[in-house]
Amino acid sequence: MIMALTLYDLAGADANRRFSPYCWRIRLAIAHKELPVETIPWRFTDKEVIAFSRQGRVPVLVDAGEVLAGSWTIANHLEQSYRDSRSLFGGPVGVALVRFVESWTDAILLPSLVPLILVDVFERLHEKDRAYFRSSRERLLGTTLEAACADRDKKVINFRHSIEPLRATFKIESFLGGEAPNYADYIVFGGFMWARSTSPFKLLENDDPVALWRDRLLDRFEFARMAPGYDT
Ligand SMILES: N[C@@H](CCC(=O)N[C@@H](CS)C(=O)NCC(=O)O)C(=O)O
């Protein structure tokens, strides 16, 4: 019998509002593997709660007493420990390609979402996280959250151009994984779930092939569609 996994998952003021793009990757990877999971809502300032993982970020997964931190480490653990269920990567070639998708998402996609959604992320935070979030993010940005998110209507045009490689792919393929989604889809989709769960700002035109791909994933993962968020 498989014991339930325990996942520490970033939450807002509403404990059901889960918004970390990295945690979404793992929630989807666990669902892909059809494994039971208990998720524990975690806030940015709950550092002592995950001190046992010897670092201060989520996702943290506990699997039969084994502690794993970092989404890439966790995804590989799931792939290796649960070989009987569907593969997340589709073999070694897949691992290398998904690594590229992760690098692109972390270096390009997520930073390009920051000036479109970060003020809205702040609004959804638990009271106890607000001062920490504002000061840590404003230090990184070199400006206020509000200034970083000014002129969103103009910035979104550039954002839509920047994801042309995704659009070109989804004109031909159903998923990055081909006929069915794999971990590459969950990495990119995690970014869109970060936006969906925090921000009413409209990122994509309804008929954008990227929006249609996002909808295909929401159809497959009902818990993602039902999660607190904005259907924009
Ligand atoms: N590279 C890590 C990134 C994890 C990460 O940055 N998580 C954020 C939540 S989205 C976090 O826990 N931040 C804690 C903080 O900012 O103090 C991964 O892939 O898991």
111-148 per-position pLDDT tens digit: 999 999 999 999 999 999 999 999 999 999 999 999 99
pLDDT value of position 34 = 97
pLDDT value of position 3 = 78
E strand or H helix that includes residue 169: helix 164-170
Query: Average pLDDT for residues 68-76, to the nearest whole number?
Result: 98
pLDDT tens readout for residues 162-209: 999 999 999 999 999 999 999 999 999 999 999 999 999 999 999 999
- Are 116 and 159 in contact by the 8 Å Cβ rule? The answer is yes
**Cβ–ligand 1 contact at 20 (below 6 Å):** yes
pLDDT value of position 52 = 98
pLDDT, the chain, mean:
97
- Are 25 and 106 in contact by the 8 Å Cβ rule? The answer is no
State the distance from the centre of ligand 1 to the C-alpha of 107, rounded, in angstroms: 14
d(CA 136, CA 57): 14
Q: Quickly list DSSP for 56-101.
A: S-S-EEEETTEEEESHHHHHHHHHHH-TTSPPSSSSHHHHHHHHHH
Nearest CA to ligand 1 atom 11: 57
Pocket test for ligand 1, best of 58, 101, 137 (most atoms within 8 A of CB): 58
For residue 24, name the pLDDT band (cuts at 50, 70, 90): very high
Query: Average pLDDT for residues 150-156, to the nearest whole number?
Result: 97
- What percent of the chain is modeled with pLDDT above 90? 98
E strand or H helix that includes residue 40: strand 37-42
Number of residues in the chain: 232
E strand or H helix that includes residue 28: helix 21-32
pLDDT value of position 66 = 97
pLDDT at 82 over 80: yes
What's the one-letter identity of residue 8? Y
Query: CB neighbours (10 Å) of residue 72?
Result: 16
**Cβ–ligand 1 contact at 197 (below 6 Å):** no
**Cβ–ligand 1 contact at 53 (below 6 Å):** no
pLDDT value of position 1 = 61
- Are 5 and 63 in contact by the 8 Å Cβ rule? The answer is yes
Atom of ligand 1 nearest to the CA of 102: 19
For residue 213, name the pLDDT band (cuts at 50, 70, 90): very high
Atom of ligand 1 nearest to the CA of 10: 9
Q: What's the gap between Cα 81 and its chain centre?
A: 22
For residue 37, name the pLDDT band (cuts at 50, 70, 90): very high
Picking from 157, 187, 163, the residue whose alpha carbon sits closest to that of residue 75 is 187
